[in-house]
Amino acid sequence: MRARLAGEIEAFTKRFGIAPSLSVVLVGEDPASVTYVGAKEKASREAGMISEAVRLPATSSKDRVITAVESLNRDPARQGILVQLPLPRHIDPDVVVQAIDPTKDVDGLHPYNLGLLLAGRPRFAPATPSGIQQLLIEENVETSGAHVVICGRSNIVGRPLAAILLGRGKGANSTVTVCHTGTRDLKVITRSADILVAAAGQPDLIRGDMIRPGAVVIDVGVNRINDPGRKSGFRLVGDVKFDEAVDVASLITPVPGGVGPMTIAMLLRNTLVAALASRAGK
């Protein structure tokens, strides 16, 4: 997908004389966020985009962060903006996300864009659920009429994924059940899934016996667990107990390496869409 996008980005750059641009605002030095921002910068540069990270100290005030966002909003050379979450605890992420110009909100988390998605007219669908849909399409997994069970109801993954899969088009038209911390009898529900999506942020939440034989399993979770045997002192695991699930599922995404790279590819696609929209009619 990134190779395909690189071709489209090259065509954009030739036509308009400047490459599409992605700006990422990072507040503080949360190690996972630093890694994610680095990966986004690298991928956007490799695809031929202009990539810029605005790094602010963890002690920055909410107003300082909003000022940085507003300055990117005003700059016509910046077409894609995202604020890396989570923010330090003293900053309300909803207020900051709402400060992003919705036409530049390539993470698709502004309430306006989430509203468009729910109304069935998405502009920027959030990158992680879009990536999950693309994975299903690319792997020829039948979603129409399939029962999709999503574990997690966050605005970043669970809710927008439910909205995407409820749509009518390709890679959608599913019957969707969303589970969360208030769900009773999780196993009964997960076992009825044709496609099971784990996005709870709970290591090993989904065990082999919670999966219907032959189901497709998408593991969104990225959890750091201590591993003294590693130089870093930790390793990454998903929400699915992979060793058990791999024997039961027909297809399964690994962690790391599954949904994460697709998320980045979708972010680049949204940025290209924003750049094209900004040039429409020019």
Q: How far is the CB of 14 from ligand NAD (least distance, A)?
A: 31
User: How far is residue 171's CA from residue 22's CA, in Å, rounded to a whole number?
Assistant: 27
Q: Catalytic: 101?
A: no
**Identity of the residue, 65 or 161, whose beta carbon is nearer to ligand NAD in the bound complex:** 161
Q: Catalytic: 40?
A: yes
Give one DSSP letter per residue of 73-114, joined into a string. Answer: HH-TT--EEEE-SSPPTTS-HHHHHHHS-TTTBTT--SHHHH
Q: Catalytic: 84?
A: yes
Q: How far is the CB of 196 from ligand NAD (least distance, A)?
A: 12
Peptide bond into 86 cis (omega under 30): yes
Where does this chain bind ligand NAD (CB under 6 A)? 128, 151-154, 156-158, 179-181, 183, 186, 199-202, 205, 220-223, 259-260, 263
**Identity of the residue, 266 or 274, whose beta carbon is nearer to ligand NAD in the bound complex:** 266
Catalytic residue among 105, 107, 204, 219: 107
**Identity of the residue, 152 or 167, whose beta carbon is nearer to ligand NAD in the bound complex:** 152
**Identity of the residue, 175 or 223, whose beta carbon is nearer to ligand NAD in the bound complex:** 223
List the alpha helices (DSSP H) in the chain.
2-16, 31-46, 62-74, 93-99, 111-118, 127-138, 158-166, 186-190, 242-245, 259-279
Q: How far is the CB of 183 from ligand NAD (least distance, A)?
A: 5
Sign for the CA dihedral angle at 86, 87, 91, 97 comes to negative
Query: Which of the residues are catalytic?
Result: 40, 84, 107
